[in-house]
Chains A and B, each alone.
Chain A
Amino acid sequence: MSGHRHLSRARRLARAVARRRPLLPRPVRVAAAIGCASLAAAIGLGALASQAPSVGAQAGDEPPAATGNTPTSPAASGTATGPAPPAAIGAAPPTVTGSEPAPAAASGSDPASATPGQLAEGRRLFLSGCASCHGEDARGIEDVAPSLRGVGAASADFYLRTGRMPMEDPQDEPQRKEPFYDERQIAALVAYVGSFGGPPIPSVDPAAGDLSVGFRVFGELCAGCHQIVGRGGITTGAWVPGLQEASPLDVAEAIEIGPYVMPAFGDQLTQEQVDSLARYVTWTRQPDDVGGWGIGHIGPVPEGMVAWLLAGAALLLTIRLIGERTTR
């Protein structure tokens, strides 16, 4: 009996409190605020604790990670089977890899030693897929597409393997997409275009490169357009691709031929520097984010968005919760 009365009194009291404050009484709100803050600080300190090991570890275990899963040495690409799609693209067909600089890989890959059957198929594919812009004799058509005589196997391999050719509209900027031809067809086309002369497909071995050399050379020659962590950007008259999908062979070929508006750097760089660049570019896929979430690796723009949209919004919400909302 008396217990029931107590209960109803407590209920009445609770109701009175609720009527006075629309949401929660202020002591509760303040306590909740302090609780949230302590939690946040605790998580922050936890983040600090979890940060330490990655600093110590990265110097030691990073280089193998950069090169372990990229089948890019001439020997590896001979087998042409990688698990990941980019790796499969990176491993060029055995018939076209290697070439003069790498004696170990001279297994019929030179365009000069391409089989007559391959050349015939390449000619056939060229006439059906390329000649409408590049001309039946591959000498190009003025104001439409350049001559392919002398561009070499390196260029044909780069453009076909990265899906940049064929293009729908010759006025477009060539963009990376799924390759239009399969590996055998690409080998045939590369052999055919390579038969007119020009640079062969270069060899590259990122494992032989040095990451710090690659970082330095990339900063000197590449970052002005490709951004220092290879995130791409725009330059006058061109959209510069990010390099996270580029295989080491793509890097070596692009250095050799200078696709689209990019200059060719083949003459300025030693083989070690090319290997180092390929290694650095592969490394930029997952750079050392010792500071936490990388937010795109392009610096202040996403940082400003976090400052406004994440921190600013969270703090506005906080003061809305712990402050009064009516203007009366």
Chain B
Amino acid sequence: MRLVPRPDPVRDPVRFVDQRLGAGSLLRSTLRYVFPDHWSFMLGEIALYAFVMLVATGVFLSLNYVPSDETVTYTGSYAPLQGRTMGAQYESVLRIVFDLPAGNLLRQTHHWAANVFVVAIALHLARICLTGAFRRPRELNYLVGVTMLALALVEGFLGYSLIDDLLSGMGLAIAYSVAGSIPFVGGDLAILFWGGEYPGSSAIWPRMEILHVLLIPVAIGGLLTVHLVQVIRQHHTQFPGGPRGERAVVGTPLWAAYALRSIGLFLIVAGLLLLLGGLVQINPIWLWGPYETALSTNGAQPDWYLGWLIGALRLMPPLEVRFGDYVAVPNPFWGGALYPLVVFGILYLWPWIDKRRWGDRARHETLDRPRDNPRRTASFAALATWVFVILFAGSVDRFAFRTLISYEAQIWFLRGAAIAGPVVAYLVTRRLCEELRARERHPLRGWSGEVVRARDDGGWAAQPEEAPTDEAAGEAAPPR
């Protein structure tokens, strides 16, 4: 008989750790945590992984960026800018592009990741709003998400502006005008942030850098943690039907199923962003050249996620509120400041607007499919149309250049579309949802054809076979 158990190189250390930390039960519950199966729940994951890529590439970029506008003469390896005087910040990015190994790959991957990050957030937001996932008890987590979207827009603009190339320099000039247009306090605010009247003092570069590489990423990371912890605590919402209900959560456990799927998704996101970074040129700052306040270029645009603000500035008729010579509300305020405030105001209030409209204050662990609540779906479609019509207006000069359709005519058309578009989108979406619901409820509106089969003798026979309506419609049939 053995009184002393034989030492085991695996079990013993594990037991040692578990007896002192009690980590076993925590690990077990973590590994058994269930994740939702439906594909639309992975939109937020894409945003998360884009953020991971942003941090990973951003660390490299921040180590090589110089937040200074000190004038230097370019002597690097890019011939068309030889001997040009420029700011040190622009020169440092040229060095990243041309003189550091993999520098431009990482810079471009960073920029593509930023663009895809906001795409994923927008789609994730659409999923939440269309299915009612924001309802009680998840309103606060929804607010956290909308706040991260707002921070992502500011973060993106700062990253774009840090370089001080011709495009971003023009963007900063517009930002200064918009900041200055805030009634009564705007001018002082703009001078405070820029460190003086436009173009401001040198202090703005380290300010923007510290916001871009430290404060806002940390804020996003913190909110992200809150967002995810809250999702874990409350568990995911789910579509109705099957064994699911308000009191049960169905999904795939983390180990050994969902973790693999999620790691796969991360690798796909990372691979796609690296591919874009290596193969598709983004923001070629060496072609734009350095910014000086007297310079400008035709066709200048912000990145897509701020295009709706440029669009609003363009569409807004030249209205100002004046008292004698005093301009109380300068024109850029409407498109550049009030419009995003209204859009984000609607987004922030969305759960409470929804509550009011339906008088529905109950807890909801299950979702509505978009068609199940036609008016909610139609409302979100109207909001999205409002934003995207105006986003399109931001690029209308390039569209006019390509199509030769007069710019002024397009502006007038889009002014109309910005007002009528949401109404049309509302009506069409609502009708679509109602039709979709009606179609699946109506037993006779499925497939009603007849199957004709080849006979062995070469002829054809219309078989009075069981019509495939049940099976074909089964895929899309309502859960109830």
Contact = CB atoms under 8 A, between A and B. Distances in A.
Contact of A306 (B242, B276, B297): B276
B298 A226 contact: yes
Contact of B275 (A27, A44, A229): A44
Interface residues on B, range: 35 or more
Given A233-B398, A287-B284, A312-B119, 13 more contacts: A26-B257, A30-B261, A34-B260, A44-B105, A55-B98, A220-B294, A233-B401, A234-B298, A299-B299, A307-B304, A311-B112, A312-B120, A315-B46
B84 A234 contact: no
14 contacts: A30-B264, A33-B267, A40-B267, A47-B105, A55-B98, A226-B298, A298-B301, A299-B284, A300-B303, A311-B112, A312-B120, A315-B272, A323-B37, A327-B369
Question: For chain B, what secondary structure do more than half of its interface residues adopt (helix, strand, loop), or is it mixed?
Answer: helix
Contacts of B104: 51, 55, 290-291
Interface in B252-307: 257, 260-261, 263-284, 286-289, 294-305, 307
B80 interface: yes
Interface residues of A, number: 83
Interface stretch (A58-66, A111-119, A121-129, A262-270): A58-66
Given A219-B295, A315-B46, A40 B37 contact: no
B82 interface: yes
A59 B296 CA distance: 26
B101 interface: yes
Contacts of A227: 297-299
Interface string A8-46: 000000000000000000110110011011111101111
A235 B299 CA distance: 10
A301 B392 CA distance: 10
Contacts of A34: 260, 263-264, 267
Given A33-B267, A44-B271, A288 B81 contact: no
Contacts of A324: 37-39
Nearest to B290: A219
Contacts, number: 281
Contacts of A308: 119, 304
B299 A220 contact: no
Nearest to B171: A300
Contacts of A47: 105, 274-275, 277-279
A212 interface: yes
Contact of B166 (A26, A56, A228, A287): A228
A283 to B, nearest CB: 7
Contact of B116 (A39, A297, A312, A318): A312
Contacts of A4: none
Nearest to A326: B475
A262 to B, nearest CB: 13
A325 B275 contact: no
A280 B300 CA distance: 20
B368 to A, nearest CB: 10
A287 B240 CA distance: 55
A225 interface: yes
B348 interface: no
A311 B43 contact: no
B166 A51 contact: no
B278 A44 contact: yes
A78 B81 CA distance: 33
Contacts of B369: 327
Nearest to B284: A291
A323 B80 contact: no
